[in-house]
Amino acid sequence: MRIGTVAQLWRYPVKSMGGERLASATLSWRGIPGDRGWALYDEARGGITGGKRLPQVRGCRARYAAEPVAGSASPIAEIVFPDGSTFPAGTQEAASRLTQLTGRAVSMRALGPAGTETDPRITMAEESPETVRALMGLLPDEPEADMSAFPPERLRLLRQGNFFDAFPLHLLTRTTLRTLERIAPESDWDERRFRPNLLLEDGGGEGYPELEWTGRTLRVGDARIEVVTGCPRCVMVTLPEPGLVQDHRIMRVLVRETRHTAGVYARVVQEGEVREGDAVELVDPA
């Protein structure tokens, strides 16, 4: 059953930075080749970090000069800083500029070939309860997100050999964004806040249709993906970036209306080519 089309296809070469829109991509078990192929490393704390702790990096964007190859180490990404200057990821020049931008000593790490391990991450377990709530974008009287789908051991396994938060693909529908915009028109519900890999046009309507696909298999172009669970949001969706202002109201609405969730996580079960404009179909019974 056809449920929509691929409206936009995105890759984010550096975790937490702005990405690059693609006309097509081959989905592999690692998702889109090169997606989150690089990440920042906090030298003082000794771990991979990102925009929740270093929000200034949301003002940067990244792109690849050479096309990544599925299963191979990440090629060099070019980082475009807020002032328009550009430096290759992994160089001392890029590390110095990022240290200056964030106010912390940071360097960069790249993914190696498939099967290699990544550097350790700074996790929520290392933070105080007050810091955790701040990183999740919550006020003192707001409930925490339901993270029962991500117990620590499962999250550790999901993050082996990658820089993803959990799963390799993130899907979001325009219906979800339109629904949220009708609820809170004073906020800008631009899809860039939510950093989807696939933005889907699903024909309109109301609500959050992608949440109904949990546990289902979708055919997207030549690939098949399994929708695994909803995507809990954090302070990242409220942060400023080029063309978008800081807006803490975004989290207030998500906490109240969707229990912190917008979009879904998915994994690839059949590799294949995906293009903007491709049909999206449900291929298994409800």
Helix-strand-coil split of the chain, %, nearest 5: 25, 30, 45
Task: For residue 280, give every residue at least 6 positions away whose Cβ sits within 8 Å of its Cβ, in sequence order, or none.
Answer: 2, 3, 4, 5, 6, 200, 202, 218, 219, 220
Whether 254 and 243 have beta carbons less than 8 Å apart is answered as no
What range defines the domain where residue 244 resides? 2-282
Q: Does residue 9 register a pLDDT over 90?
A: yes
pLDDT at 204: 76
**What Rg do the C-alpha atoms of the chain give, in angstroms?**
18
Token pair, residue 19, equals 């990405």
The total number of residues written for the chain in this structure:
286
CATH code, domain carrying 220: 2.40.33.20
Query: Tens digit of pLDDT for each residue in 194-216?
Result: 999 999 998 878 999 999 999 99
Q: Does residue 285 register a pLDDT over 70?
A: no
Q: Does residue 97 register a pLDDT over 70?
A: yes
pTM assigned to the model: 0.95
- Model confidence at 284, pLDDT cuts 50, 70, 90, reads confident
The arithmetic mean of pLDDT across residues 171-195, rounded, is: 97
Whether 254 and 260 have beta carbons less than 8 Å apart is answered as yes
Q: Residue 258's closest CA among 210, 213, 216?
A: 210
The arithmetic mean of pLDDT across residues 181-195, rounded, is: 97
Q: Residue 28's closest CA among 238, 270, 280?
A: 270
Whether 9 and 283 have beta carbons less than 8 Å apart is answered as no
The arithmetic mean of pLDDT across residues 232-256, rounded, is: 96
CA-CA distance, 138 to 133, in Å (whole number)? Answer: 5
- Model confidence at 286, pLDDT cuts 50, 70, 90, reads low
Query: Tens digit of pLDDT for each residue in 212-231?
Result: 999 999 999 999 999 999 99
The beta strand positions in 61-101, using DSSP E, are: 61-64, 77-80, 86-88
Q: Does residue 69 register a pLDDT over 80?
A: yes
Query: Tens digit of pLDDT for each residue in 29-64?
Result: 999 999 999 999 999 999 999 999 999 999 999 999
Count structural domains, the chain. Answer: 1
Whether 172 and 205 have beta carbons less than 8 Å apart is answered as no
Alpha helices in 34-112 (DSSP H): 92-102
Q: Residue 167's closest CA among 111, 218, 211, 231?
A: 231
